[in-house]
Amino acid sequence: MKFSAVLDHAWAEDPGSPTALGRDLRLVRAAAPELLALDVPASSYAKLAASYRPDRQDRSARQDRSDRSPRSGEITAVVLTHNEEQVIGACLRALTDDCDRVLLVDSGSDDSTLRTAKAAVAHVEHVTRAWTDDFAAQRNAAFERVRPGGWLAHVDADETLSAESRGRLRAVLSVLDHALPGADLVVSPRILDTSRECHTNTRRVLRSHTALRFRGRVHERPYDAHGAEPPCVEVDVTFHHTGYEPEVIARKGKRERYARLIERCLAEEPSNPKWHFYAVRDGMVGRKPGPDEARSLYGRLEEARALYGARPSSDYEKERLADSLVLQCELALGFGGGREIGELAPLLRDRGRLLEASYYQAFAEFGALLNRSSHLLDQLAEDTRHELPGGRLLAGRSYDLQALLALTCGRYDDVPRLLEEARSRQAGALTTGTVESLAALLPGQREQ
């Protein structure tokens, strides 16, 4: 029986009385095709459900364990810290139902981070590792400190598991252990920023005995030794992230630190195009470049994209290819690059980014239509000046059409004058009818 069929059975169960297997499997929101094609260790869904023993050990029982023996499915939260006394307590307390142990990889905190962590939850261990401008190296240090047979859940100190998600991480890892015990995979919980931006392909949770390791001094993600990306499962587990709030960025100097790390990555891997993407994207945070800068940044990304054709590229290098195409489209909007967007849209479609391809192509073509509408308005305005005797009705219709074109292309200040000219010639129904129809469609406008 394939894992895809198992998921289908889980979703087909009565939501009012699901099996334990079905309830936990429904936390899986998406899975890589290679995982869906795997066989599960049972010949039927009923047998798989009957043999499932979900890990729902009582919190107090977990905290009271005095033995240090390994057990299958043990979940260790790995948290990188450096002076995180303001957030570490809330971070760890939220993980109590889902993680058996906490491992802090600390880079030399000189505040109360460690004391606060140990006061917040039981079974906190820490290792001090000097900061070497390398987030991946900090994360990889955790593999040397945990026992095989469980999971490592990498959580940032400024992230908090949402109240409605508590217990879900343990449940979904338990069901993955049961249904896909031999699969070397990564698990992606959702991370929701305070700006409401939601990140889904986070790749934060992996087996403790995996050969996968994080790569990248910054924006690090797990890969195998050849730079291949492991198959991923996206799950219905949400963390709230506060680290991108403006005051936090300024206080911790994040923007400057990330820029410095990206420059190091560019120096060490000049032929890796993803670092050009990060350099451009991170340099735009909090601001919108003008047309000239947008064109220049677009050109930089175009040159970086050409690096993909110079030699075979690993997943590690291709990690941000589709996102780079999206960023190029956004930059092209900034300098009116409709032609460029027309060239990029098919590339996005080829990579399964259908919504972005349609949005940017439609936006660019709509912009061209607005420009054409504005040109037609100017042409009509010029020619209507030559109104002939006896042509009053046609001139009125021309002013009516001009008013509608002005509405279409955003030249709203012209509309009252043009509509007045149209009405003085017994016209104007076209524009008036359009405005009334729009008003009827807009919420709250009918009473005004």
For 392-430, what is each residue's pLDDT tens digit? 899 999 999 999 999 999 999 999 999 999 999 999 999
> What values do phi and psi take at 276, rounded to 5?
-65, -40
Please give the C-alpha separations between residue 350 and each of 145, 193, 331, 353, 391, in angstroms, as whole numbers. 42, 29, 20, 7, 54
Give ∠ CA 262-271-350 in degrees, rounded to 5: 95
Between residues 46 and 245, the one the model is more confident about: 46
Residue showing tokens 């002939």:
388
Q: What is the pLDDT of residue 69?
A: 40
CA 366 to chain centre: 27
pLDDT at 8 over 50: yes
Please give the C-alpha separations between residue 105 and each of 84, 148, 212, 260, 344, in angstroms, as whole numbers. 12, 18, 18, 22, 42
CA 161 to chain centre: 17
In which element (H, E) is residue 239 found? strand 232-241
CA 1 to chain centre: 32
Q: Given CA atoms 415, 419, 422, 428 in this order, what sign does their dihedral have?
A: positive
Could you give the CA distance from residue 63 to residue 65 in angstroms, rounded to a whole number?
6
pLDDT at 48 over 80: yes
Q: What is the pLDDT of residue 440?
A: 87
Q: Mean of the pLDDT values across residues 177-191?
A: 96
pLDDT at 249 over 80: no
Residue showing tokens 């593999």:
143
Q: What is the pLDDT of residue 58?
A: 47
Q: Mean of the pLDDT values across residues 372-399?
A: 92
Task: Enter the tokens of residue 413.
Answer: 């200040």
Q: Using pLDDT thresholds of 50, 70 and 90, give the confidence band for residue 276.
A: very high
pLDDT at 68 over 50: no
Q: What is the pLDDT of residue 255?
A: 84
Classify the phi-psi angles of 9: left when phi > 0, otherwise alpha if psi is within -120 to 50, otherwise beta.
Answer: alpha
Q: What is the pLDDT of residue 205?
A: 98
Q: Is 84 helix (H, G, I), strand (E, B) or coil?
A: coil
Return mean pLDDT, the chain: 91
Q: Mean of the pLDDT values across residues 121-127?
A: 92
Q: Mean of the pLDDT values across residues 237-246?
A: 86
Residue showing tokens 């299958």:
72
Q: Using pLDDT thresholds of 50, 70 and 90, give the confidence band for residue 312.
A: confident
Q: What is the pLDDT of residue 149?
A: 85
**Of the candidates 94, 116, 120, 119, the residue with the CA atom closest to the CA atom of residue 106:** 116
> What values do phi and psi take at 180, rounded to 5?
-130, 60
CA 62 to chain centre: 33
144-148, 330-334, 374-378 — which is least confidently predicted? 144-148
**Of the candidates 27, 20, 57, 25, the residue with the CA atom closest to the CA atom of residue 40:** 25
Own/partner contacts of 17-24, CB < 8 Å, gap of 24 or more, are: 19/49, 19/52, 20/49, 20/52, 20/54, 21/45, 21/48, 21/49, 21/52, 21/175, 21/178, 21/179, 22/49, 23/171, 24/52, 24/54, 24/171, 24/172, 24/174, 24/175
107-116 pLDDT, tens digit per residue, is 999 999 999 9
Residue showing tokens 């680290």:
243
Q: What is the pLDDT of residue 445?
A: 54
Question: pTM (2 decimals)?
Answer: 0.84
Q: Mean of the pLDDT values across residues 204-217?
A: 96
Q: Using pLDDT thresholds of 50, 70 and 90, give the confidence band for residue 293.
A: very high
Q: What is the pLDDT of residue 72?
A: 60
In which element (H, E) is residue 44 found? none
Q: What is the pLDDT of residue 177?
A: 96
Residue showing tokens 């996005």:
348
Could you give the CA distance from residue 91 to residue 93 in angstroms, rounded to a whole number?
6
Cβ–Cβ < 8 Å for 38, 183: yes
49-60 pLDDT, tens digit per residue, is 999 999 765 444
CA atoms within 13 A on the CB side of 27: 25
45-49, 51-55, 137-141 — which is least confidently predicted? 51-55
Which residues does 338 contact at the CB level (< 8 Å), separation at least 6? 332, 364, 365, 367, 368
Overall size of the chain counted in residues: 448
Q: What is the pLDDT of residue 195?
A: 76
CA 324 to chain centre: 14
Q: Mean of the pLDDT values across residues 1-22?
A: 95
Q: Is 19 helix (H, G, I), strand (E, B) or coil?
A: coil
217-221, 253-257, 382-386 — which is least confidently predicted? 253-257
